[in-house]
Amino acid sequence: MVTKLLNKSAKKFHLVSKLDFEQAAWRSGELVCGVDEVGRGCLAGPVVAAAVIIPMGALIDGVRDSKKMGKEELVLVAQKLRQVSWWGVGICDNYLIDSCNIRVATILAMRQAVANLLAVCHKSPTKILVDAMPLQQYFSPEIEVISAPKGEDWSYSIAAASIIAKVQRDQLLGFYQEIFQKSGLGQHKGYGTESHYQYLSSIGQTIVHRKTFLQKFYQAQGDRQCQIFI
């Protein structure tokens, strides 16, 4: 029965993200955890990570790289994933990013996400699948950490994590947009778009901008780093 369920699921979802690790775990009665982050390369806002464990048979159609999904689809799929999976989120704000650097902040956000996930899941995973970041040293040797680039393409669980993380971060940037109404943060999400740079040139940075990410920009502008809009 289990084998039939796995084969049926694989046939349906093979066009999105792969299920190799998930299927192997389910056959052994085990669980795997997918981890991914959103917002590493942004000029403003936090880096947000999510950790997701998909129970056997709880697959959602359409799960794939969040960067290839539209806004409405992202919100819908994220809502479904939250209903059927165990998940946790970790957030490191721009102040922490500036104080320790983006790599360290990303690892901290991922560790927070896994910790929050394990607080609600009845069973620890035997594997943690991560998009590129090396996390093995932060977990027990009993939990194997597998890390490789383009995680959303080789793991359904990582793709699911990327979706939850992106929706969570997009919601935060939408909130910032309400505070800084001319910033465009709700549209460009803090990335270095032309409109974003125009805002920085004419008005200045907000309290949610990453100062360390703007140093080269302000040097080119004639050192206007002190101009802060709050």
Q: Per residue in 129-159, pLDDT tens? A: 999 888 989 888 889 999 999 999 999 999 9
Q: Identify the band that residue 221 occupies on the pLDDT scale cut at 50, 70 and 90.
A: confident
| Res 223: pLDDT | 56
- Percent of the chain predicted with pLDDT > 70: 89
First-to-last CA distance in the chain?
59
Average model confidence (pLDDT) for the chain?
88
Rg of the Cα trace of the chain?
19
In terms of residue numbers, what domain contains 76?
2-177
Strand-pair category, 47-53 with 32-38: antiparallel
| Res 216: pLDDT | 84
CA-CA distances (angstroms) from residue 131 to 165, 168, 187? 13, 18, 25
Indicate the angle between helix axes 20-27 and 156-179, nearest 10 degrees.
120
Whether residue 36 is found in the same domain as residue 117: yes
Residue 14 neighbours by CB under 8 Å, 6+ apart: none
Residue 137, domain CATH: 3.30.420.10
pLDDT at 227 over 60: no
The answer to whether the Cα torsion of 115, 120, 126, 130 is positive or negative is negative
- Residue 147: Cβ within 10 Å count: 15
Whether residue 170 is found in the same domain as residue 212: no
Whether residue 32 is found in the same domain as residue 16: yes
Q: Per residue in 54-105, pLDDT tens? A: 999 899 999 988 988 998 999 999 999 999 999 999 999 999 999 999 999 9
Whether residue 67 is found in the same domain as residue 161: yes
Q: Identify the band that residue 224 occupies on the pLDDT scale cut at 50, 70 and 90.
A: low
